[in-house]
Amino acid sequence: EIDAIGISDCVKDTIKAKINTVPDLKFSSQAERLSANINSIYEEVAPMISPDGKVLYFDRKYHPENAGGFNDADDIWFSVYRDNKWSEAKNIGFPLNNKYSNFVQAITPDGNSLLLGNVYNKDGSMTAGVSITYRTRTGWAFPEEQYIDDFYNLSPYANYFLSNDGRVLIMAIQRKDSYGQLDLYVSFLKEENHWSKPKNLGPTINTYVNDYSPFLAADGITFYYSTSGYAGYGKEDIFMTKRLDDTWTNWSEPQNLGPQLNTNESDTKYNIPASGEYAYFSSTKASIGKNDIFRIKLPQKVKPNPVVLISGRVFNDKTNEPVDARIIVEELPAGKEVAVARTDPKTGKFKIILPAGKKYGFRAIALGFFEVNKNMDLTDIDEYTEIEDEVMRVAPIEVGSVVRLNNIFFEFAKATLKPESFPELDRTVNFLEENKTLELEIAGHTDNIGSDAANMKLSQARAQSVVNYLIEHGVDKSRLIAKGYGETRPIAFNNTEEGRAMNRRVEFKVLKK
């Protein structure tokens, strides 16, 4: 059975008791219907705004330009925001659209991956489930099925959402342990395209009627969804709750987003860009067709926690050409992986969204290249911020290539490795296991503070500490040479702390490929 995006009216409804709205909630303006470039006499539902706020995907129903024509209930359309206006919407085309139900459920921060409802089969048919498509040099790739352990759905309807870090899949489905009809569940990424058994989000969120249309904000904590299981203003209202811990069953009491957003009809598919400036949703009230897409400027009270939108590019360090790479982000000092992005294959561009107030390490990984790493300190940021033009250069694996290990830390004026260095060193071990013929020189460098002799001795000891760690973790010692260069090979001026920090480094050089 194919999942449909619509939800039928509930047979039962809650008794409309006192509505638990966000206290003292005031919107500065009314919801505005988007322009005729998006809304039409046909039905536009399920808007999904890209995290950077630049592209809007939505489902257009029974349009003559749908893949299946007038009889096609759900096709994906999109519009691009440029020069302060939305472009005329276009059908996204094959392979994402066919004569069956096609709809976008989530967009990764880099804009290069889409979560899609249903499973696309090679014979052109579709089955219930969820898929992911990736942007390639020639367009969108054929969607890949996402395998969920012990997956089944007792309802013909389903919604899904993929967290910004790509590691959490939220779904509205009906299972044997559901509290009512559609309930909200979570699965966690086990490996690429493979997810854990769905876990019910619990009775604080789920009710005895339909609970659906999930949206997890970029902070990974603030959660919005639609339900008629709590007192509201219409058939289904949009509510907000906060995740209180990592069990995914402990939530704050859901709060109604109020009558300026919620109407006496069905209000669903609420989602917001990383900035939290506007919310996008579909509604039947004041629509041209049966359903239209609206947006409303959000007051601070219902915005998620601040995040940072980081844009950058990955280049070939030798040719300066863009590189098709994966960007992996780890929270420091723990080394916990918190986000993954893919570069645009044509431009090398990437975008990542991270919670503010923390330190992170970035890795760029590409076939035939060394990994490259850099750190970013966001601890002093407490509001939505955009950081642009972060450049990462990856060196092709060649004899003589030199690669800096950015996440290696030592005790002050000592050769003792700090624990936050271990994730970087473990990745180096894995790299050498994957490239078993490589032989490396591990080079230590210092700034010019202290005597030449002391710096030479310290750099040699630090290089040897790295070599010792690699050997202790399974690398053959015949493949490694430790070499200290002291202050003799600076890469920046030593007259500023920033320059001295750049000169205090560990590198490896390929001696044999």
Using one digit for the tens of pLDDT, what is the confidence trace for 263-274?
888 778 899 999
Of residues 336 and 350, the one with the higher pLDDT is 350
- Crossing angle of helices 452-472 and 422-434, rounded to 10°: 60
- Torsion angle in degrees (nearest 10) through CA of 37, 139, 324, 426: 90
288 — pLDDT class (breaks 50, 70, 90): confident
The HSE-up count of residue 148 (CA atoms within 13 Å, CB side) is 25
Nearest to 315 by CA among 353, 377, 255, 364: 364
The 8-class DSSP code of residue 69 comes to: G
User: Tokens 């202790």, residue?
Assistant: 472
Percent of the chain scored above 70 by pLDDT? Answer: 97
Nearest-5° angle of CA 428, CA 429, CA 430? Answer: 90
Rounded to whole angstroms, what are the CA distances from 421 to 99, 104, 413, 461?
A: 52, 40, 16, 16
Sign of the alpha-carbon dihedral angle for 244, 248, 251, 256? positive
User: How confident is the model over 93-135, as pLDDT tens digits?
Assistant: 999 999 999 999 999 998 999 999 999 999 999 999 999 999 9
Average pLDDT over residues 245-261: 95
CB half-sphere exposure, 322, CA atoms < 13 A: 14
Residue 329 identity: V
Residue 389: which pLDDT band, with cuts at 50, 70 and 90? confident
What band does 370 get if pLDDT is binned at 50, 70 and 90?
confident
Residues contacting residue 224 through CB under 8 Å, at least 6 positions apart: 214, 215, 217, 238, 239, 240, 257, 270, 271, 272
Rounded to the nearest angstrom, the gap between the alpha carbon of residue 337 and the centroid of all alpha carbons in its chain is 12
Q: Which domains does the chain have, with CATH numbers?
A: 32-302 (2.115.10.20), 306-396 (2.60.40.10), 399-513 (3.30.1330.60)
Residues in a beta bridge with 162: 169
At which residue do the structure tokens 């590409």 appear? Answer: 366
Distance CA 508, CA 399 (A): 11
Q: What is the CA radius of gyration of the chain?
A: 26
pLDDT of residue 377: 95
What is the rounded distance in angstroms from the CA atom of residue 169 to the CA atom of residue 154?
18
The Cα–Cα gap between 118 and 137 comes to 24
Task: State which H helix or E strand residue 212 sits in.
Answer: strand 211-216
Amino acid (1-letter code) at residue 220: G
| Cβ contact 288:277 at 8 Å | no
